[in-house]
């Protein structure tokens, strides 16, 4: 992983990128992958299976902050739907 990032940041030919990639481990990409899936609305049990977690509760514990963000978005969507419904009744 380090070598891939170094090759990107310091190409053998031509100029380097305008924005360098920060140091990252392969495990960091796993977290990015899981977080991206959860934020995209993929159900936790499917993300858990993709990560190889035997129990989705493991995924929920590790990514609780992402699930909380989704819950806030769901609450906002519900509030908006209620407002629209009330406006239609007027």
This prediction has a pTM of 0.65
DSSP letter for each residue of 37-90: HHHTT--HHHHHHHHT-SSHHHHHHHTHHHHHHHHHHHHHHHHHHHHHHHHHH-
Q: Is 55 part of a structural domain of the chain?
A: yes
43 found inside a domain = yes
How many structural domains does the chain have?
1
Give domain status of residue 44, yes or no: yes
Residue 8 lies in a domain: no
pLDDT in tens, 32-80: 999 999 988 899 999 999 999 999 999 999 998 888 877 788 888 899 9
- 64 lies in which domain range? 26-89
Domain-embedded: residue 63? yes
């Amino acid at each position: 992983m380090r070598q891939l990032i170094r090759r990107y940041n310091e190409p053998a030919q031509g100029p380097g990128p305008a924005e360098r990639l920060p140091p990252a481990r392969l495990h960091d990409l796993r977290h990015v992958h899981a977080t991206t899936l959860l934020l995209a609305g993929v159900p936790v049990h499917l993300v858990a299976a993709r990560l190889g977690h035997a129990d989705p509760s493991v995924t929920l514990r590790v990514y609780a902050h992402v699930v909380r963000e989704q819950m806030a978005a769901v609450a906002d969507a519900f509030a908006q739907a209620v407002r629209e419904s009330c406006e239609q009744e007027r």
